[in-house]
Structure 1
Amino acid sequence: MSTMSPTGVGSSAGNPPHSKVAYVRRRAVVLAAVTALVAAVCERDAESVLRRGSDSGIGDAPLDGRIALIPEPQRQRSVSMNGDTLDGAELSLSDYRGRALVVNFWASWCLPCRKETPELVASAKALAARDVELIGVVSKDHGKPQAQAFTRRFELPYPSLWDPDGSMMLGIRPRPIGLPTTLVLDRQHRVAAMVSAPITRTTLLDLVTDAVPVLVTPA
Protein backbone atom coordinates (compact mmCIF):
# COMPACT_ATOMS: atom_id res chain seq x y z
CA MET A 1 0.00 0.00 0.00
CA SER A 2 1.34 3.41 -0.93
CA THR A 3 1.30 6.41 1.41
CA MET A 4 1.60 10.09 0.72
CA SER A 5 4.53 11.99 2.11
CA PRO A 6 4.04 15.46 3.61
CA THR A 7 5.33 16.87 0.31
CA GLY A 8 2.69 15.00 -1.65
CA VAL A 9 5.15 12.57 -3.18
CA GLY A 10 4.15 8.92 -2.85
CA SER A 11 6.50 6.30 -1.50
CA SER A 12 6.20 2.68 -0.69
CA ALA A 13 6.28 1.59 2.96
CA GLY A 14 9.78 1.47 4.39
CA ASN A 15 11.31 3.72 1.69
CA PRO A 16 12.08 7.39 2.40
CA PRO A 17 10.42 10.15 0.33
CA HIS A 18 12.36 11.39 -2.68
CA SER A 19 12.98 14.74 -0.99
CA LYS A 20 14.63 12.98 1.95
CA VAL A 21 16.78 10.88 -0.38
CA ALA A 22 17.89 14.04 -2.18
CA TYR A 23 18.69 15.71 1.15
CA VAL A 24 20.78 12.74 2.28
CA ARG A 25 22.64 12.72 -1.03
CA ARG A 26 23.33 16.45 -0.86
CA ARG A 27 24.57 16.10 2.69
CA ALA A 28 26.88 13.24 1.69
CA VAL A 29 28.33 15.38 -1.11
CA VAL A 30 28.91 18.30 1.27
CA LEU A 31 30.53 16.06 3.87
CA ALA A 32 32.77 14.53 1.20
CA ALA A 33 33.82 18.00 0.05
CA VAL A 34 34.57 19.12 3.60
CA THR A 35 36.55 15.95 4.26
CA ALA A 36 38.57 16.49 1.09
CA LEU A 37 39.27 20.10 2.09
CA VAL A 38 40.41 19.12 5.58
CA ALA A 39 42.64 16.41 4.13
CA ALA A 40 44.17 18.90 1.70
CA VAL A 41 44.91 21.35 4.51
CA CYS A 42 46.46 18.60 6.63
CA GLU A 43 48.64 17.47 3.74
CA ARG A 44 50.24 20.90 3.59
CA ASP A 45 51.51 20.17 7.10
CA ALA A 46 55.15 20.94 7.58
CA GLU A 47 55.85 21.61 3.92
CA SER A 48 54.21 25.02 3.58
CA VAL A 49 52.73 26.38 6.81
CA LEU A 50 54.06 29.77 7.91
CA ARG A 51 57.32 30.09 6.01
CA ARG A 52 57.82 33.51 7.54
CA GLY A 53 58.44 35.27 10.81
CA SER A 54 55.40 35.95 12.96
CA ASP A 55 54.93 38.87 15.33
CA SER A 56 53.23 36.48 17.74
CA GLY A 57 56.26 34.22 17.55
CA ILE A 58 58.80 36.88 18.55
CA GLY A 59 59.44 37.47 22.24
CA ASP A 60 57.88 35.53 25.08
CA ALA A 61 54.80 34.29 23.19
CA PRO A 62 54.85 30.86 21.57
CA LEU A 63 54.85 30.59 17.80
CA ASP A 64 51.43 30.98 16.24
CA GLY A 65 51.99 28.31 13.59
CA ARG A 66 53.76 25.01 13.22
CA ILE A 67 56.63 26.36 11.11
CA ALA A 68 58.26 29.77 11.33
CA LEU A 69 61.24 31.19 9.51
CA ILE A 70 62.55 34.18 11.46
CA PRO A 71 64.17 37.01 9.46
CA GLU A 72 67.72 37.80 10.49
CA PRO A 73 66.94 41.27 11.99
CA GLN A 74 64.29 39.69 14.27
CA ARG A 75 66.44 36.90 15.67
CA GLN A 76 67.01 37.17 19.39
CA ARG A 77 69.73 36.13 21.80
CA SER A 78 71.90 33.10 21.22
CA VAL A 79 70.75 29.77 22.56
CA SER A 80 73.03 28.33 25.23
CA MET A 81 72.85 24.68 26.34
CA ASN A 82 75.27 22.36 28.07
CA GLY A 83 75.15 19.12 29.98
CA ASP A 84 75.70 15.40 29.67
CA THR A 85 74.63 13.32 26.71
CA LEU A 86 72.87 9.98 27.05
CA ASP A 87 76.31 8.40 26.64
CA GLY A 88 77.69 10.35 29.59
CA ALA A 89 79.86 12.74 27.57
CA GLU A 90 79.87 16.48 28.23
CA LEU A 91 78.43 18.63 25.44
CA SER A 92 77.90 22.35 25.04
CA LEU A 93 76.57 24.30 22.09
CA SER A 94 79.56 26.57 22.53
CA ASP A 95 81.69 23.64 21.31
CA TYR A 96 80.22 24.41 17.87
CA ARG A 97 80.99 28.13 17.84
CA GLY A 98 80.64 29.61 14.36
CA ARG A 99 78.66 26.64 12.99
CA ALA A 100 74.97 26.40 12.26
CA LEU A 101 73.07 23.81 14.30
CA VAL A 102 69.87 21.81 14.15
CA VAL A 103 68.54 21.03 17.63
CA ASN A 104 65.73 18.50 17.98
CA PHE A 105 63.78 18.14 21.24
CA TRP A 106 62.30 14.68 21.68
CA ALA A 107 61.18 12.03 24.18
CA SER A 108 60.90 8.28 23.89
CA TRP A 109 57.19 8.32 24.88
CA CYS A 110 56.35 10.89 22.18
CA LEU A 111 54.63 9.19 19.21
CA PRO A 112 55.20 12.12 16.79
CA CYS A 113 58.88 11.99 17.77
CA ARG A 114 59.00 8.36 16.69
CA LYS A 115 57.39 9.34 13.41
CA GLU A 116 59.97 12.00 12.58
CA THR A 117 63.13 10.30 13.86
CA PRO A 118 63.84 8.29 10.67
CA GLU A 119 63.62 11.60 8.75
CA LEU A 120 66.18 13.18 11.09
CA VAL A 121 68.47 10.19 10.78
CA ALA A 122 68.21 10.46 7.00
CA SER A 123 69.04 14.18 7.24
CA ALA A 124 72.15 13.85 9.39
CA LYS A 125 74.61 13.01 6.59
CA ALA A 126 73.28 15.75 4.29
CA LEU A 127 73.50 18.30 7.11
CA ALA A 128 77.06 17.29 7.96
CA ALA A 129 78.01 17.81 4.31
CA ARG A 130 76.71 21.36 4.65
CA ASP A 131 78.71 21.95 7.85
CA VAL A 132 75.56 21.90 9.98
CA GLU A 133 75.59 19.82 13.16
CA LEU A 134 72.52 17.89 14.36
CA ILE A 135 72.01 17.57 18.12
CA GLY A 136 69.16 15.99 20.06
CA VAL A 137 67.77 17.00 23.43
CA VAL A 138 65.85 14.37 25.42
CA SER A 139 63.21 16.41 27.22
CA LYS A 140 60.99 15.23 30.09
CA ASP A 141 61.54 11.55 29.42
CA HIS A 142 60.67 8.79 31.88
CA GLY A 143 64.28 7.72 32.33
CA LYS A 144 67.62 7.24 30.63
CA PRO A 145 67.08 3.52 29.90
CA GLN A 146 63.99 4.31 27.82
CA ALA A 147 65.77 7.13 25.98
CA GLN A 148 68.85 4.98 25.35
CA ALA A 149 66.66 2.16 24.01
CA PHE A 150 65.09 4.72 21.65
CA THR A 151 68.49 5.80 20.31
CA ARG A 152 69.48 2.17 19.73
CA ARG A 153 66.20 1.31 18.03
CA PHE A 154 66.46 4.18 15.56
CA GLU A 155 70.27 4.12 15.37
CA LEU A 156 70.66 7.83 16.01
CA PRO A 157 74.00 8.98 14.53
CA TYR A 158 74.01 12.22 16.55
CA PRO A 159 74.38 12.94 20.29
CA SER A 160 71.46 13.82 22.55
CA LEU A 161 71.65 15.96 25.68
CA TRP A 162 69.83 14.57 28.72
CA ASP A 163 67.29 17.14 29.98
CA PRO A 164 64.86 15.29 32.30
CA ASP A 165 63.13 18.38 33.66
CA GLY A 166 62.81 20.20 30.31
CA SER A 167 64.73 23.22 31.59
CA MET A 168 66.77 23.62 28.40
CA MET A 169 63.65 24.88 26.59
CA LEU A 170 63.00 27.68 29.06
CA GLY A 171 65.51 30.27 27.84
CA ILE A 172 64.75 29.89 24.14
CA ARG A 173 63.05 32.71 22.24
CA PRO A 174 60.72 32.17 20.44
CA ARG A 175 59.53 29.65 23.00
CA PRO A 176 59.05 26.03 21.90
CA ILE A 177 55.46 24.86 22.39
CA GLY A 178 55.79 21.10 22.75
CA LEU A 179 57.38 17.90 21.49
CA PRO A 180 58.75 17.36 19.00
CA THR A 181 60.30 20.74 18.31
CA THR A 182 63.19 21.34 15.92
CA LEU A 183 65.29 24.50 15.91
CA VAL A 184 67.59 25.74 13.17
CA LEU A 185 70.28 27.93 14.76
CA ASP A 186 72.37 30.29 12.68
CA ARG A 187 76.11 30.87 13.07
CA GLN A 188 75.52 32.97 16.17
CA HIS A 189 73.24 30.19 17.54
CA ARG A 190 70.15 32.39 17.34
CA VAL A 191 66.87 30.72 16.43
CA ALA A 192 66.47 31.17 12.67
CA ALA A 193 63.66 28.65 12.20
CA MET A 194 61.43 26.57 14.42
CA VAL A 195 59.15 23.62 13.68
CA SER A 196 56.63 22.54 16.32
CA ALA A 197 55.52 19.35 14.55
CA PRO A 198 57.10 16.19 13.13
CA ILE A 199 59.57 17.31 10.50
CA THR A 200 60.54 15.71 7.21
CA ARG A 201 63.99 15.56 5.62
CA THR A 202 62.88 17.82 2.76
CA THR A 203 61.44 20.45 5.09
CA LEU A 204 64.49 20.43 7.34
CA LEU A 205 66.97 20.85 4.51
CA ASP A 206 64.82 23.58 2.95
CA LEU A 207 64.66 25.45 6.27
CA VAL A 208 68.42 25.21 6.71
CA THR A 209 68.88 26.56 3.19
CA ASP A 210 66.51 29.47 3.90
CA ALA A 211 67.78 30.21 7.39
CA VAL A 212 71.54 30.03 6.85
CA PRO A 213 72.09 30.49 3.11
CA VAL A 214 75.70 31.59 3.54
CA LEU A 215 76.60 28.19 4.99
CA VAL A 216 74.65 26.06 2.59
CA THR A 217 75.87 24.86 -0.79
CA PRO A 218 73.44 22.25 -2.16
CA ALA A 219 75.10 19.26 -3.80
Structure 2
Amino acid sequence: MSTRSRLLLAATAAAAALTLSACSSGGISGGGGDTNFVTGKNGIATAAKGHRDPAPDLSGKTIDGKTIDVADYKGKVVVVNIWGSWCGPCRAEGKYFAKVSKEYEGKGVQFVGINTRDTSTTPAVAFEKEQGITYPSLYDPSGKLMLRFKRGTLNPQLVPTTLILDRDGKVAARALEALSEESLLKMLKPVLAEK
Protein backbone atom coordinates (compact mmCIF):
# COMPACT_ATOMS: atom_id res chain seq x y z
CA MET A 1 0.00 0.00 0.00
CA SER A 2 1.39 3.41 -0.93
CA THR A 3 1.99 6.18 1.59
CA ARG A 4 -0.74 8.21 -0.05
CA SER A 5 -3.23 5.34 0.30
CA ARG A 6 -2.31 4.84 3.95
CA LEU A 7 -2.76 8.56 4.66
CA LEU A 8 -6.12 8.57 2.90
CA LEU A 9 -7.23 5.50 4.85
CA ALA A 10 -6.11 7.05 8.16
CA ALA A 11 -7.89 10.33 7.36
CA THR A 12 -11.08 8.46 6.44
CA ALA A 13 -10.97 6.46 9.68
CA ALA A 14 -10.45 9.65 11.72
CA ALA A 15 -13.34 11.38 9.94
CA ALA A 16 -15.59 8.37 10.58
CA ALA A 17 -14.68 8.36 14.27
CA LEU A 18 -15.44 12.08 14.55
CA THR A 19 -18.74 11.64 12.73
CA LEU A 20 -19.79 8.79 15.01
CA SER A 21 -18.98 10.83 18.12
CA ALA A 22 -20.64 14.03 16.89
CA CYS A 23 -23.85 15.29 18.40
CA SER A 24 -24.03 12.60 21.06
CA SER A 25 -25.53 13.00 24.49
CA GLY A 26 -23.03 11.04 26.54
CA GLY A 27 -19.39 10.20 26.92
CA ILE A 28 -16.60 9.35 29.26
CA SER A 29 -13.43 11.15 30.14
CA GLY A 30 -10.21 9.73 28.87
CA GLY A 31 -7.58 8.64 31.38
CA GLY A 32 -7.85 6.96 34.71
CA GLY A 33 -7.16 7.71 38.33
CA ASP A 34 -8.47 10.49 40.53
CA THR A 35 -9.80 13.17 38.22
CA ASN A 36 -10.98 15.55 40.99
CA PHE A 37 -14.33 16.14 39.32
CA VAL A 38 -17.83 14.89 40.00
CA THR A 39 -20.65 14.37 37.51
CA GLY A 40 -24.06 15.11 38.99
CA LYS A 41 -27.38 13.53 38.04
CA ASN A 42 -27.98 16.48 35.73
CA GLY A 43 -25.04 15.44 33.52
CA ILE A 44 -22.96 18.44 34.57
CA ALA A 45 -19.44 17.60 35.79
CA THR A 46 -17.81 20.04 38.22
CA ALA A 47 -14.40 20.48 39.82
CA ALA A 48 -14.02 22.11 43.22
CA LYS A 49 -12.00 25.30 43.50
CA GLY A 50 -8.38 24.33 44.09
CA HIS A 51 -8.78 21.11 42.05
CA ARG A 52 -9.31 22.61 38.61
CA ASP A 53 -7.15 22.31 35.52
CA PRO A 54 -6.25 25.39 33.50
CA ALA A 55 -7.84 25.74 30.10
CA PRO A 56 -5.35 25.35 27.25
CA ASP A 57 -4.57 28.05 24.71
CA LEU A 58 -7.89 28.89 23.05
CA SER A 59 -6.99 31.56 20.56
CA GLY A 60 -7.21 32.20 16.86
CA LYS A 61 -9.44 33.60 14.14
CA THR A 62 -13.15 33.99 14.68
CA ILE A 63 -15.82 33.09 12.15
CA ASP A 64 -15.98 36.78 11.18
CA GLY A 65 -12.21 37.06 10.64
CA LYS A 66 -11.19 38.78 13.89
CA THR A 67 -8.65 37.37 16.35
CA ILE A 68 -9.38 36.54 19.99
CA ASP A 69 -7.61 34.84 22.88
CA VAL A 70 -9.77 33.45 25.69
CA ALA A 71 -6.87 34.14 28.12
CA ASP A 72 -7.59 37.86 27.64
CA TYR A 73 -10.85 37.32 29.56
CA LYS A 74 -9.09 36.29 32.81
CA GLY A 75 -10.89 37.94 35.69
CA LYS A 76 -14.25 37.09 34.11
CA VAL A 77 -16.20 33.85 34.17
CA VAL A 78 -16.07 32.48 30.62
CA VAL A 79 -18.74 30.25 29.08
CA VAL A 80 -17.23 28.26 26.19
CA ASN A 81 -19.74 26.56 23.90
CA ILE A 82 -18.45 24.14 21.27
CA TRP A 83 -20.90 23.90 18.38
CA GLY A 84 -21.41 23.29 14.69
CA SER A 85 -24.07 24.66 12.35
CA TRP A 86 -24.74 21.06 11.20
CA CYS A 87 -25.52 19.89 14.76
CA GLY A 88 -29.23 19.58 15.67
CA PRO A 89 -28.69 19.78 19.47
CA CYS A 90 -26.58 22.92 18.91
CA ARG A 91 -29.53 24.48 17.09
CA ALA A 92 -31.81 23.55 19.99
CA GLU A 93 -29.60 25.25 22.60
CA GLY A 94 -28.44 28.26 20.56
CA LYS A 95 -31.35 30.53 21.53
CA TYR A 96 -30.65 29.91 25.25
CA PHE A 97 -26.99 30.85 24.87
CA ALA A 98 -27.98 34.01 22.98
CA LYS A 99 -30.48 34.98 25.70
CA VAL A 100 -28.26 34.26 28.73
CA SER A 101 -25.23 35.96 27.14
CA LYS A 102 -27.27 39.14 26.72
CA GLU A 103 -28.67 38.93 30.28
CA TYR A 104 -25.16 38.60 31.76
CA GLU A 105 -23.45 41.18 29.55
CA GLY A 106 -21.52 43.59 31.76
CA LYS A 107 -21.85 41.30 34.81
CA GLY A 108 -18.38 39.71 34.73
CA VAL A 109 -19.28 36.97 32.23
CA GLN A 110 -17.93 36.46 28.71
CA PHE A 111 -19.38 33.94 26.26
CA VAL A 112 -17.15 32.46 23.55
CA GLY A 113 -18.15 29.91 20.94
CA ILE A 114 -15.91 27.41 19.21
CA ASN A 115 -17.33 26.50 15.82
CA THR A 116 -16.05 23.10 14.73
CA ARG A 117 -16.30 20.84 11.69
CA ASP A 118 -17.96 23.44 9.47
CA THR A 119 -16.03 23.42 6.18
CA SER A 120 -16.43 27.18 5.74
CA THR A 121 -17.49 30.11 7.86
CA THR A 122 -20.59 30.81 5.74
CA PRO A 123 -22.93 28.32 7.52
CA ALA A 124 -21.43 29.30 10.90
CA VAL A 125 -22.15 33.00 10.35
CA ALA A 126 -25.68 32.16 9.16
CA PHE A 127 -26.22 29.99 12.27
CA GLU A 128 -25.22 32.81 14.64
CA LYS A 129 -27.42 35.32 12.81
CA GLU A 130 -30.39 32.93 12.90
CA GLN A 131 -29.86 32.20 16.61
CA GLY A 132 -29.24 35.84 17.62
CA ILE A 133 -25.74 35.09 18.93
CA THR A 134 -23.62 38.22 19.26
CA TYR A 135 -20.57 36.92 21.16
CA PRO A 136 -17.41 35.82 19.28
CA SER A 137 -16.86 32.27 18.03
CA LEU A 138 -13.45 30.85 17.20
CA TYR A 139 -13.35 29.01 13.87
CA ASP A 140 -11.92 25.51 14.41
CA PRO A 141 -12.92 23.35 11.44
CA SER A 142 -10.55 20.49 12.29
CA GLY A 143 -11.24 20.36 16.04
CA LYS A 144 -7.62 21.15 16.99
CA LEU A 145 -8.69 23.45 19.86
CA MET A 146 -10.66 20.60 21.46
CA LEU A 147 -7.56 18.39 21.26
CA ARG A 148 -5.51 20.87 23.33
CA PHE A 149 -7.34 19.81 26.51
CA LYS A 150 -5.56 17.10 28.53
CA ARG A 151 -7.14 13.66 28.84
CA GLY A 152 -8.66 12.93 32.23
CA THR A 153 -9.74 16.55 32.73
CA LEU A 154 -13.06 18.27 32.13
CA ASN A 155 -12.23 18.20 28.44
CA PRO A 156 -14.69 18.59 25.56
CA GLN A 157 -15.51 15.26 23.96
CA LEU A 158 -18.66 15.84 21.95
CA VAL A 159 -20.47 18.48 20.00
CA PRO A 160 -22.11 20.27 21.71
CA THR A 161 -19.99 20.67 24.85
CA THR A 162 -20.19 23.61 27.23
CA LEU A 163 -17.40 24.57 29.62
CA ILE A 164 -17.42 27.17 32.38
CA LEU A 165 -14.00 28.71 33.10
CA ASP A 166 -13.54 30.41 36.46
CA ARG A 167 -11.99 33.86 36.85
CA ASP A 168 -8.52 32.27 36.89
CA GLY A 169 -9.05 30.57 33.52
CA LYS A 170 -9.53 27.10 35.01
CA VAL A 171 -12.26 24.66 33.96
CA ALA A 172 -14.91 24.60 36.71
CA ALA A 173 -17.78 22.78 34.95
CA ARG A 174 -18.60 20.82 31.81
CA ALA A 175 -21.76 19.58 30.09
CA LEU A 176 -21.55 17.02 27.27
CA GLU A 177 -25.05 17.67 25.96
CA ALA A 178 -27.33 20.39 24.69
CA LEU A 179 -28.41 22.69 27.52
CA SER A 180 -31.67 24.40 28.37
CA GLU A 181 -31.59 27.91 29.77
CA GLU A 182 -32.12 26.45 33.26
CA SER A 183 -29.22 23.98 32.91
CA LEU A 184 -26.90 26.66 31.57
CA LEU A 185 -27.69 28.91 34.54
CA LYS A 186 -27.15 25.97 36.97
CA MET A 187 -23.62 25.70 35.57
CA LEU A 188 -22.91 29.42 35.46
CA LYS A 189 -24.33 30.81 38.71
CA PRO A 190 -22.20 28.84 41.24
CA VAL A 191 -18.95 29.79 39.47
CA LEU A 192 -20.05 33.41 39.15
CA ALA A 193 -20.85 33.47 42.90
CA GLU A 194 -17.28 32.40 43.83
CA LYS A 195 -15.13 35.03 45.47
TM class, shorter-chain normalised? 0.7 to 0.9
Instruction: Report the Cα offset of residue 170 of structure 1.
Output: 1.2
Q: Which residue identity lines up with residue 127 of structure 1 in the other structure?
A: Y
Given that 2:76 and 2:166 are in contact with CA atoms closer than 8 Å, whether structure 1 keeps it comes out as yes
Counterpart of 1:187 (choices 163, 167, 179) is: 167
Is residue 196 of structure 1 aligned with residue 173 of structure 2? no
Aligned to 1:155: 132
- 1:39-188 to 2 correspondence within 5 Å? 58=35, 66-172=43-149, 173-188=153-168
Q: CA-to-partner distance for each residue in 1:146-180, whole Å, 9 max, x for gaps? A: 11111121121111100011011112232212010
Q: In structure 1, how many angstroms separate the alpha carbons of the residues matched to 2:136 and 2:104?
A: 14
Q: In structure 2, how many angstroms separate the alpha carbons of the residues matched to 1:157 and 1:85?
A: 12
Aligned to 2:6: none
- TM-score using structure 1 length: 0.66
Listed as ranges, the gaps of 5+ residues in structure 2 are 1-24, 26-31
Instruction: Report the Cα offset of residue 80 of structure 1.
Output: 2.1
Aligned to 1:6: none
Which of 1 and 2 has greater Rg? 1
Q: In structure 2, how many angstroms separate the alpha carbons of the residues matched to 1:180 and 1:141?
A: 13
Q: In structure 2, how many angstroms separate the alpha carbons of the residues matched to 1:199 and 1:64?
A: 14
Instruction: Report the Cα offset of residue 84 of structure 1.
Output: 0.6
Instruction: Report the Cα offset of residue 114 of structure 1.
Output: 0.3
Listed as ranges, the gaps of 5+ residues in structure 1 are 1-45, 47-54
Q: In structure 1, how many angstroms separate the alpha carbons of the residues matched to 2:170 and 2:143?
A: 19
Q: Which residue identity lines up with residue 191 of structure 2 in the other structure?
A: A
Instruction: Report the Cα offset of residue 118 of structure 1.
Output: 0.5
Q: In structure 1, how many angstroms separate the alpha carbons of the residues matched to 2:98 and 2:34?
A: 28
Q: Which residue identity lines up with residue 188 of structure 1 in the other structure?
A: D
Instruction: Report the Cα offset of residue 139 of structure 1.
Output: 1.0
Same amino acid, percent of matched pairs: 31
Q: Secondary structure at the match of 1:68?
A: strand
Q: Which residue identity lines up with residue 164 of structure 1 in the other structure?
A: P
Q: In structure 2, how many angstroms separate the alpha carbons of the residues matched to 1:78 and 1:177?
A: 14
